């Protein structure tokens, strides 16, 4: 094998190890998203799992089921978007290719 090819393989192994580490760490990193000015708050981890949803007393007092449903959907979608962005930022650090939107999910 050529010296250049050995370097490419070495770099590929390093990136693979970093991706594996990212997978392990992503489960422990979280983002928070809100909807309705904080009426509904959602916590999502880097594995795209919803960890919690908090609903303010104000929403319960409204007794508006459709509003609550809309706020939950909005908070969850925002949380998932933030989680994906967090993972993409970490991928960019590993690959050194900021702005490259890799279709990569670590899970």
15-44: per-residue pLDDT in tens?
Answer: 888 888 887 888 889 999 999 999 999 999
Helix (H) or strand (E) holding 1: none
Written as one string, the DSSP assignment of 56-90 is -HHHHHHT-HHHHHHHHHHHHHHHHHHHHHHHHHH
Q: Residue 43 is part of a domain; what is its CATH number?
A: 3.30.1310.10
What is the value of pTM for the model shown? 0.72
Q: Is the pLDDT of residue 103 over 90?
A: no
DSSP three-state, residue 91: helix
Q: Does the pLDDT at position 100 exceed 50?
A: no
- What's the distance, CA 13 to chain centroid? 24
45 pLDDT band, cuts 50/70/90, is: very high
Confidence at residue 21, expressed as pLDDT on a 0 to 100 scale: 84
pLDDT at 55 over 90: yes
Report, as an integer, the average pLDDT of 82-103.
74
How many structural domains does the chain have?
1
Q: What angle do CA 75, 46, 15 make, to 5 degrees?
A: 150
Write down the pLDDT at residue 3.
Answer: 79
Parent domain of 52: 18-95
**In the numeric block, which tokens belong to residue 36?**
């309705």
pLDDT greater than 70 at residue 106:
no
Does 38 fall in a domain?
yes
Domain membership of residue 53 (yes or no) is yes
């Amino acid at each position: 094998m050529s010296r250049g090819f050995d370097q490419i393989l070495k770099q590929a192994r390093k990136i693979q190890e970093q991706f594996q580490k990212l997978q392990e760490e992503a489960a422990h990193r979280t983002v928070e998203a809100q909807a309705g000015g904080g009426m509904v708050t959602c916590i999502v981890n880097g594995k795209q799992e919803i960890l919690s949803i908090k609903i303010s007393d104000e929403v319960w007092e409204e007794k508006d089921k459709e509003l609550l449903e809309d706020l939950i959907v909005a908070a969850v979608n925002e949380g998932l978007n933030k989680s994906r962005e967090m993972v993409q930022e970490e991928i960019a650090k590993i690959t050194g290719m900021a702005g490259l939107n890799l279709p990569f999910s670590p899970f």
